[in-house]
Amino acid sequence: MNNLLLLLPELIILIVAFAVFILDLVWGQERSNSSVFPALTMLGALGAVIATVFIWAQAGSGALQLRVIATDSGGALSMLAVDQFAMFFKIYAALTVGLVGLVSTDYIRAHTSFRGEFYAMLLMAGLALMLVASSTNLVMIFLAFEFLSITSYLLTGYLRDNDFSVEAALKYFLYGSVASTVMVFGFSLIYGATGSVDLRDIATALASADGTVAGYLVMPAIVLIIVGVGFKIALVPFHQWSPEAYQGAPTPITAFLSVGPKAAGFALMVRILTIAFPGFAHTAAANWVAILMGIAILTMTFGNVVAIWQTDIKRLFAYSSIAHAGYMLIGVVAIAPQYVGGSQTIEGWSQGLNGLLIYLLGYLFTNIGAFAIIIAVENKTGSSSISKYAGLIKRSPFLAVAFFIFLLSLIGIPPTAGFVGKLFVFGAAINQQMFVLAIVGIVNSVISVYYYLNIARQMFFEDVEDSTPITVSGGLNAAVAISLALVFAIAIFAQPFITWTTNSAQILASSF
């Protein structure tokens, strides 16, 4: 297959993004309300999904397809991989962009007069997500990562007349730049130690390096890289930016931040750690499994405990999303086969990576669905305070019930996608005999019930102050309905989703 054709999803997104930019420029202010922009965004996303599926079909099922895009004498300098793992995240990114585009329309119309660029920027952010997930080279990783960061900062500060939005973007930017710098420093240590920027070459070089290099350079490098990526995912203790950014950002962008960059961060983390450092999962000199285990425990616990006191729903979802990153991290921790070969291993589902992917997938639909409702309520009440949800069941039964189902999915109650995700990550942890992690995970699930049900309590048990019905636009309704359908489908018709994530996860299983 032609190399350029392998980049079809990225190209589609790029072309659509430029088309939106140009249309916006040509049409000017008076047509900025046009539905063409969101429609184009969704078409672009759909096109990217179809293109990815097409390439997947070409690549064949299960086969490990590492295609080199830019080569310098015999594939030594590969930039991007088009493997199943990357394609999973490309579809994920396209779905994120499409759904966020769907929920943005009303909000953007109501809050700003610069509308066209918003969608173009969103598409660009989606493109950045795709690049991050497929980069296999430290230089490319950094470029893609910065691309994603810059588009995220811009989108966060998109409401430029709104002080909170600007403050959020500034904070995000300041923290983000430090994190990026730290990560690059980590990269430079690796380059210094191995003389290579390609992930596979690094692994080869490190495998034959003596103990001192590993002891002095690899461990600090791994820590620095985890800091950089952990910032993007908002892992504790690199999460400080996220409550502010989530609260201040335009609400559709909050939805985007809670799923898109998080997924890209995980893709990157998994790719770097498993391809470049597979040998350092458990060794004495460097042990990224132990580091991540500690971070996972911290992240879950901190996110859930602090969420209890939140009164603003966007802030609450910021902490909730921190906590969920902690659960997902269990999947990453359980990738490394600590007890491999024992009778405990059951192929196909026990791999933590599979758990991470299916968790991410469920979380995408759950969170975007929930944010669609948050946007609907915010459009009506002008506030994101949890007290505005009082009596929602009377104002809009559909939204209240749908929101409740999304909350149940976040808790992990069957039959929802959240349950399947938890089943997989906890299953992976138990399979690796990481009982502590599984127990901390379930204790946290219980803690989270308290604040999620507090929203349900407002919606169902409290009396209404203002009983005017909340009507929502077709876009928001569609986003809620699609999310709802998938949240149930992932649990009830789980097999195709599991097959898909299993195929996507295989690529990395060979690293160990």
Partner 1 sequence: MNIPFILTLILLIPLLGSVLILFIPGSNEKGIKNLAVIASLFPLLFSILVWIGYDRATGGYQFVENYSWIPSLNIQYHLGIDGLSIPMVFLSALLSTLGLWYSAKVIKHRVKEFFVLFLLLEASLTGVFVALDMVLFYFFWEIELVPMFLMIGIWGQKKDRPQYSAIKFFLYTLVGSVAMLLAFIAVYLNTGSWDITQIPGLLSFSPSLAALTFWAIFIGFAIKVPLFPFHTWLPDAHTAAPTAGSVMLAGVLLKLGGYGMIRILIPYFPDVFRASAIFIAALGVISMIYGALVSMAQWDLKRLIAYSSVSHMGYFMLGVAAAVYYGDLTSRTIALNGAVLQMFNHGIITGGLFFLVGVIYERTHTRDLTAFGGLSKHTPKYYAIMMVTAFASLGLPGLAGFISELLIFRGAFATMPVMAIIGVIAIVLTAAYILWKIVQYVFLGDFSQEKWDKIFDVRHWSWGEDIAPFEVITMVPLLIGMVWIGVYPLAILTTINQASYAILSSAF
Residues of this chain that bind partner 1 (CB under 8 A): 344, 346, 348-350, 393, 404, 408, 411, 413-415, 419, 422-423, 426-427, 430-431, 438-439, 442, 445-446, 449-450, 453-454, 456-457, 460-461, 494-495, 498-499, 502
- Is the Cβ–Cβ distance between 180 and 228 less than 8 Å? yes
CB of 413 to partner 1, least distance (A): 5
Q: Which is nearer to partner 1, 153 or 497 (CB)?
A: 497
Q: Round to whole Å and give the CA distance between 290 and 283.
A: 10
DSSP states of 303-353: HHHHHTT--BHHHHHHHHHHHHHHHHHHHHHTTS-TTTTSTT--TTT--HH
Q: Which is nearer to partner 1, 111 or 422 (CB)?
A: 422
Which residues lie closer than 8 Å to 198 by C-beta, 6 or more apart?
76, 77, 78, 136, 137, 138
Q: Which is nearer to partner 1, 170 or 413 (CB)?
A: 413
CB of 369 to partner 1, least distance (A): 17
| SS3 at position 85 | helix
The size of the chain, in residues, is 512
CB of 498 to partner 1, least distance (A): 5
Report CA Rg, the chain.
22
- Is the Cβ–Cβ distance between 326 and 356 less than 8 Å? no
CB of 376 to partner 1, least distance (A): 20
Q: Round to whole Å and give the CA distance between 143 and 276.
A: 18
Q: Which is nearer to partner 1, 6 or 459 (CB)?
A: 459
CB of 449 to partner 1, least distance (A): 6
* C-alpha 133 chain-centroid distance: 11
Tokens of 165: 């939005």
Q: Which is nearer to partner 1, 137 or 444 (CB)?
A: 444
Q: Which is nearer to partner 1, 34 or 477 (CB)?
A: 477
| SS3 at position 115 | coil
Q: Which is nearer to partner 1, 69 or 491 (CB)?
A: 491
Q: Round to whole Å and give the CA distance between 65 and 56.
A: 10
CB of 135 to partner 1, least distance (A): 30
Torsion of CA 331, 335, 336, 342, to 10 degrees: 100
CB of 495 to partner 1, least distance (A): 5
